[in-house]
Amino acid sequence: MDTHSLQNHDELIQKVKKMATFRSFEKKDFYRILNFSKIREYEPGETILEEGSYDNWIFFIISGKVRVVRHDREIGILGRTGDIFGEMGIIDGSARSASVSALEKTICLATDISFMDRLTGDDRLAFTAILYQLLAEILAVRLRTTSEELVRAREEIAALKGGAGR
């Protein structure tokens, strides 16, 4: 893994700024978050997050593709600019629920969310509100996708059960 500060990475900053995730941020808040962020580059096969570990980092894909694995089973592949991973532990402080590894050369914006502990007053309230709105949007999309997958799986099970009695 290579880690870089965001200085002299104007092209990457512009990509990050265009992500839907950051569109609701005011300019000063956006740059403040960048102060607590790093550009991390991963090679194919490299582990980014390890299931069961603890940390305060959330990751935004700038380019590349990652595999998400839980209990040795693939549960997803993320590869769109702006896709986020590592957010679950941020919400409830629990251990990482899955491992994430790069499928190809992957560049992420990695943000240390513990910076919020150093904020006070209105800044803390504003960042907390923005972060939780962002997380609610992410989780709503994931819940909708999971619900659709569950319906399809139940339909397949029903079809298999119906076909077994013939």
Domains in the chain: boundaries: 2-116
105, HSE (Cβ side, Cα atoms, 13 Å): 1
What local confidence, expressed as pLDDT, does residue 31 receive? 81
What local confidence, expressed as pLDDT, does residue 47 receive? 98
Taking the chain (166 residues) in runs of 10, the rounded mean pLDDT of each run is 70 80 79 85 97 93 96 95 88 90 96 83 80 82 90 93 70
d(CA 41, CA 23): 24
Question: Which secondary-structure segment (H or E) carries 96?
Answer: none
**CB-CB contact of 90 with 58 (8 Å):** yes
Classified as helix, coil or strand, 151 is helix
Q: What counts of helices (H) and strands (E) characterise the chain?
A: 4, 9
Tokens matching residue 110: 């990695």
d(CA 71, CA 49): 13
DSSP per residue, 9-40: -HHHHHHHHHSGGGTTS-HHHHHHHHHTEEEE
**CB-CB contact of 14 with 30 (8 Å):** no
Give 2-116's CATH code, choosing from 3.40.50.300, 2.60.120.10, 3.20.20.70, 3.30.1330.10: 2.60.120.10
**CB-CB contact of 57 with 112 (8 Å):** yes
